[in-house]
Amino acid sequence: MSQIYDRVALIGLGLIASSMFWAMKRGGLVGEVTGYARSAETRDTARRIGLCDRVCDSAAEAVEGADLVVLCVPVGVMGAVAAEIAPMLKPGATVTDVGSVKRHVIEAVSPHLPDNVFFIAGHPLAGTEHSGPESGFAELFDNRWCLLVPVDGTPEEPVERLRHLWEGMGSNVETMDADHHDLVLAVTSHAPHLIAYTMVGVADDLRRVTDSEVIKYSAAGFRDFTRIAASDPTMWRDVFLTNKDATLEILGRFTEELFALQRAIRTGDGDHLHDYFTRTRAIRRSIIEAGQDTDAPNFGRSHQVTK
């Protein structure tokens, strides 16, 4: 395969950027990859582990001459980073991002960019509970979806090129508009994360049950919540602050349903509970059939032998 971009700049070097680097190299998809991270410690780590062909000491230096610039920073600082790199962008370059919220990012980034670059917002639906430059791996995007949100008037060619890059990294790609993206993700990601964080916080707070009991007996269900509640705090703070309306709407729906189930428990309405619990089984089956999760019991976790 010929190279899709001659030079790519990764701004921010966490889980997603590092996985993109290894996935692009695995596929021989691009030429030189430069990288920049605000923290000197992260840049040192990147240099030590060979993450990026060249690690730069400023974002401006990293983007110079790049055909594709990927903003891999928390959603809350996308605008500031766009302003910083704007003067150095190569005419005709594509700028994209990997943020979990799209309306806000488009509004924060677009005004800073010159007319002669293309901004195509993006969001790979992939991740783990680990963060930082050393947590990335080439397979992260395999068979995961990547959603692209081109701004109005973007020509087809740069969108197709970016689509090919993501497909080369293993993803399935779809395009959608920003508001629909933000609603879909509020359901499939943002509300579930907030709920998981809440449940873990409640367990931590409960003085009548000791911490060690919560931890020892976590395999009864609770431990599943702790994985996504271990995700990066800065990233998630910014997601909730910038996808406020859709997240609050879904949480409102959630609370309504939860109250109905609590009422069924209080009044002893077993039929309501049984019907509800039967319906939710079918969704699991569909997710497995769609190749988006494993059918192995307990996610195929190995049984730990340490004590």
Min dist CB 207 to its own copies, Å, is: 11
Min dist CB 13 to its own copies, Å, is: 17
Q: In 3-state terms, what secondary structure has residue 16? A: helix
Q: Which is nearer to its own copies, 157 or 204 (CB)?
A: 204
Are 246 and 253 a contacting pair, CB within 8 Å? no
User: What is the rounded distance in angstroms from the CA atom of residue 196 to the CA atom of residue 240?
Assistant: 14
Min dist CB 96 to its own copies, Å, is: 18
Are 68 and 5 a contacting pair, CB within 8 Å? yes
293 φ/ψ sector (left φ>0, alpha ψ -120 to 50, else beta): beta
Question: What is the sign of the dihedral through the CA atoms of 241, 246, 251 and 256?
Answer: positive
Q: What φ, ψ does residue 30 adopt, rounded to 5°? A: -140, 170
Min dist CB 182 to its own copies, Å, is: 11
Are 33 and 52 a contacting pair, CB within 8 Å? yes
Min dist CB 69 to its own copies, Å, is: 24
Q: Which is nearer to its own copies, 147 or 162 (CB)?
A: 147
Name the strands in the sheet holding 54-55, side by side, starting at the edge strand that comes first in the sequence: 54-55, 30-36, 5-11, 68-71, 94-97, 118-124, 145-150, 172-175
From the CB of residue 298, how many other CB atoms can be counted at a distance below 10 Å?
A: 11
Q: What is the DSSP letter of 143?
A: T
Min dist CB 23 to its own copies, Å, is: 12
Min dist CB 19 to its own copies, Å, is: 10
Min dist CB 40 to its own copies, Å, is: 22
Going through 160-200 in order, the beta strands assigned E by DSSP cover 172-175
User: What is the rounded distance in angstroms from the CA atom of residue 260 to the CA atom of residue 270?
Assistant: 12
Q: Which is nearer to its own copies, 34 or 45 (CB)?
A: 45
Q: Which is nearer to its own copies, 2 or 290 (CB)?
A: 290
Q: Which is nearer to its own copies, 117 or 248 (CB)?
A: 248
Instruction: Give the burial string for 229-264 (b: 16+ CB within 10 Å, else e).
Output: bebbeebbebbbebbeebbeebbeeeeeeeeeeeeb
Q: Which is nearer to its own copies, 6 or 287 (CB)?
A: 287
Q: Which is nearer to its own copies, 3 or 234 (CB)?
A: 234
Q: Which is nearer to its own copies, 26 or 90 (CB)?
A: 26
